[in-house]
Chains A and B, each alone.
Chain A
Amino acid sequence: MRETSTIPASKQIIELIVNDHPGVMVHVAGLFARRTFNLEGVLCGPLASGGRSRMLLLVGAQARLDQVIHQLEKLQDVLEVRKRPDLAPTLFDLSRAA
């Protein structure tokens, strides 16, 4: 089967720097679920400095994006939030990993 990207280019990426502990994923994913924000992909890995992780979130280019960001900023374990328009959404294309 020929593999094509399943990720439309209209998506946006938000980068988070978070405290590296087991609950942080629940906080971030739960926020998107209960506020009915679309979260389409998550990539997460530890930072070399230790104790912190970088999380990339793939979200729809929704009208409420600023509200999403402000709500993320309120989470205690989220240390930094920024948009990453420089990254291509195809980063999240896991079809090749199948």
Chain B
Amino acid sequence: MKINGAEIITRLLERQGVEIIAGIPGGTTLPLYDALGKSRVRHILARHEQGAGFIAQGMSRATGRAGVCLATSGPGATNVITAIADAKLDSIATVFITGQVPTALIGTDAFQEVDTYGLTVPIAKHNYLVRSAAELLTIVPEAFALAESGRPGPVVIDVPKDVQMESIEVQQWPKPGSRAPASTPSDDQVQAFALLVEKSKRPVLYIGGGVTASAATNQVLDLADGAGIPVAMSLHGLGSFPAHHPLSLGMLGMHGARCTSMLLDEADLLIALGVRFDDRATGKISEFCTHATVVHVDVDRSEIHKLKPANLGIVADVAATLDRVLPRLARQPKQDWLRRVAELKHRHPLPDANDDDLASPAALVRAIAKRAGTSCIVTTDVGQHQMWVAQHYPFQEPRTLLSSGGLGTMGFGLPAAIGAALAKPGAQVVCFTGDGSLLMNIQELATLAETGSNVKVILFNNSHLGLVRQQQDLFYGGRLQASRFSLQPDFVAIARGFGIRAVDVGEAAQALDCLDEVFAGPGPALVNVPIAAAANVLPMVPPGAANRDMIERTLQVSHA
């Protein structure tokens, strides 16, 4: 029996184990949507293709399996560009399928024609322009394999409408694409790694998204506990080492604690696992960890030596590497170093907040964490609230913080939360957002209401683009330009307008009781929390400065 390209795609998605995809239909994806109607795959109708892209990312970030997004040609494709670039910079396995004008019209400036292939070359891990229905049988499984293998990333498949409609006889279905086996280190590398750890007196671990991607959380814990090594995390490393652990140094870098920066300065061995020495983490790179021998483990060969030369570079999976290194290590923590770590953590503590009065953003983050539980999946948008969450939320498990780190996309949080909730039915999901960020994809409140997902949107509302205001405050003489919103929308009314339960804790006499009530009920809710406009995320390292040159207090200057 002959079937058409569109049906081939939906069959391949089913065979791939894809249960849910997100998208918006259009002229060039009509055959695909017709096929979806006859398929087991559930389609989530977003309200903007960027929202659909981040829903797909949310599914992927919560599970590690490639999320799928569908968009039409032209504006549909350009609207997903941000979500593709975001997935690339954060190494998130995703498959974006876009409709394209019929092959015969490509290159004629046809209605809703745009060169999706050309546009996505620099921002995707790989991309395809499909030329025949038969090609789909190799391209679709290959796209999933590529997206999930090695360093994960987004793959784009651009499918002209006539290819979706072309009927062919399918003799044999291809095997679903799967993650290629992880690369492993050589014996020499394993031995050298173990020797460096044994010989070091002041080792520090620096872990990132690669630890999450390779599911190496337990191995990192073993290494830290066994050899007594404190652990600093990039934004995407958070959750891969328990925040409450005495060896946790929290997030390093631009908003890291003084003790974290000092310990990295004192380190004689830096064990960098699944990280890329991003400028937000290292500060001025020439002054980052200057006294340390560097061991760098990453699946992406091009990351080794890219920004920081490694004394021992290992191109391999983090978990596979630690599995081989750990048995060679004596469990002999270096007691002097552990005392030094404890001393510095005591003298220059990680950001903390003990009260629950909701007056400070930090206290609010902690009050929410208490109510949400340790396996809650947290998404954030981008800005001050994101950094307060990174500093104060006690993440215990991997894949519980989903945040746009590399691209820093405002508007990420809400659709990513919807995706996470869809991929993990029954899980509590909290989206921390700001009033600037939420407005960038607020239309997805409609999608949230429709899915009824258990997403609590916590809105840190300071009527500003807070992180811009903070930098203008600190580095531009307090001259606030275009960072203040003179109009303050009624977010509670807006949420209710979408059919979502909403409360304003600023107006509630018993703010904590109000939060209790929100978390007691299932389904979506929005909580508006007024935040003092002058509140800054501290400490802060000025962009381009060394991490040790952090600003820890804001001088109170009147900018009236």
Contacts of B300 in A (CB 8 A): 74
Contacts of B121 in A (CB 8 A): 23, 26-27, 30
Contacts of B117 in A (CB 8 A): 23, 26
Of all chain A residues, which has the CB nearest B155?
Answer: A76
Contacts of A70 in B (CB 8 A): 301-302
List chain B positions with a Cβ less than 8 A from chain A. 117-118, 121-122, 125-127, 129, 146, 300-302, 305-306
CB <8 Å contact, B301 and A30? no
Give the distance in Å from the alpha carbon of A71 to the alpha carbon of B125 in the complex.
11
Of all chain B residues, which has the CB nearest A33?
Answer: B122
Give the distance in Å from the alpha carbon of A71 to the alpha carbon of B300 in the complex.
9
Q: In the assembled complex, how far is the CB of residue A15 from the closest CB belonging to chain B, in whole angstroms?
A: 19
CB <8 Å contact, A76 and B126? yes
Q: Please judge, given known A-B contacts A23-B121, A27-B121, A67-B306, whether A73 and B126 are in contact too, CB under 8 Å.
A: no
Of all chain B residues, which has the CB nearest A75?
Answer: B126
Q: In the assembled complex, how far is the CB of residue B121 from the closest CB belonging to chain A, in whole angstroms?
A: 5
Query: Is A86 engaged at the interface, CB distance under 8 Å to the other chain?
Result: no
Q: In the assembled complex, how far is the CB of residue B146 from the closest CB belonging to chain A, in whole angstroms?
A: 7
Contacting residue for B122 out of A23, A30, A67, A73, CB 8 A: A30
Query: Is A34 engaged at the interface, CB distance under 8 Å to the other chain?
Result: yes
Number of A-B pairs whose CB atoms are under 8 Å? 25
Contacting residue for B305 out of A26, A27, A66, CB 8 A: A66
Give the distance in Å from the alpha carbon of A30 to the alpha carbon of B124 in the complex.
12
Q: In the assembled complex, how far is the CB of residue B172 from the closest CB belonging to chain A, in whole angstroms?
A: 22
Give the distance in Å from the alpha carbon of A95 to the alpha carbon of B420 in the complex.
59
CB <8 Å contact, B302 and A74? yes
- For the complex, count residues of A whose C-beta is within 8 A of B: 12
Give the distance in Å from the alpha carbon of A30 to the alpha carbon of B126 in the complex.
13
Contacts of A73 in B (CB 8 A): 301-302
Give the distance in Å from the alpha carbon of A73 to the alpha carbon of B299 in the complex.
13
CB <8 Å contact, A34 and B122? yes
Give the distance in Å from the alpha carbon of A26 to the alpha carbon of B301 in the complex.
22
Contacts of B125 in A (CB 8 A): 76
Give the distance in Å from the alpha carbon of A49 to the alpha carbon of B122 in the complex.
29
Q: In the assembled complex, how far is the CB of residue B282 from the closest CB belonging to chain A, in whole angstroms?
A: 17
Of all chain B residues, which has the CB nearest A77?
Answer: B126
Of all chain A residues, which has the CB nearest B115?
Answer: A26
Give the distance in Å from the alpha carbon of A70 to the alpha carbon of B303 in the complex.
9
Give the distance in Å from the alpha carbon of A36 to the alpha carbon of B121 in the complex.
16
A-B residue pairs, 10 tightest by C-beta = A70-B302, A76-B126, A30-B121, A34-B122, A70-B301, A71-B302, A26-B121, A30-B122, A27-B121, A67-B306
Q: In the assembled complex, how far is the CB of residue A48 from the closest CB belonging to chain B, in whole angstroms?
A: 24
Q: In the assembled complex, how far is the CB of residue B544 from the closest CB belonging to chain A, in whole angstroms?
A: 19
Contacting residue for A23 out of B127, B146, B305, CB 8 A: B127
Contacts of B129 in A (CB 8 A): 23
Q: In the assembled complex, how far is the CB of residue A18 from the closest CB belonging to chain B, in whole angstroms?
A: 13
Contacts of A76 in B (CB 8 A): 125-126, 146
Q: In the assembled complex, how far is the CB of residue A35 from the closest CB belonging to chain B, in whole angstroms?
A: 9
Of all chain B residues, which has the CB nearest A74?
Answer: B302
Q: In the assembled complex, how far is the CB of residue A93 from the closest CB belonging to chain B, in whole angstroms?
A: 30
Contacts of A67 in B (CB 8 A): 302, 305-306
Give the distance in Å from the alpha carbon of A66 to the alpha carbon of B310 in the complex.
14
Of all chain A residues, which has the CB nearest B123?
Answer: A34
Contacts of A30 in B (CB 8 A): 121-122
Q: In the assembled complex, how far is the CB of residue A63 from the closest CB belonging to chain B, in whole angstroms?
A: 11
Of all chain B residues, which has the CB nearest A34?
Answer: B122
A46-75 interface bits toward B, Cβ cutoff 8 Å, 1 = contact, 0 = none: 000000000000000000001100110110
Given contacts A26-B118, A71-B302, 5 further A-B pairs with CB under 8 A are A34-B122, A66-B305, A67-B302, A74-B300, A76-B146
Q: In the assembled complex, how far is the CB of residue B230 from the closest CB belonging to chain A, in whole angstroms?
A: 31
Contacts of B122 in A (CB 8 A): 30, 34
Contacts of A74 in B (CB 8 A): 300, 302
Of all chain A residues, which has the CB nearest B315?
Answer: A70
Of all chain A residues, which has the CB nearest B307?
Answer: A67
Q: In the assembled complex, how far is the CB of residue B210 from the closest CB belonging to chain A, in whole angstroms?
A: 15
Contacts of A71 in B (CB 8 A): 302
Contacts of B126 in A (CB 8 A): 76
A74-86 interface bits toward B, Cβ cutoff 8 Å, 1 = contact, 0 = none: 1010000000000
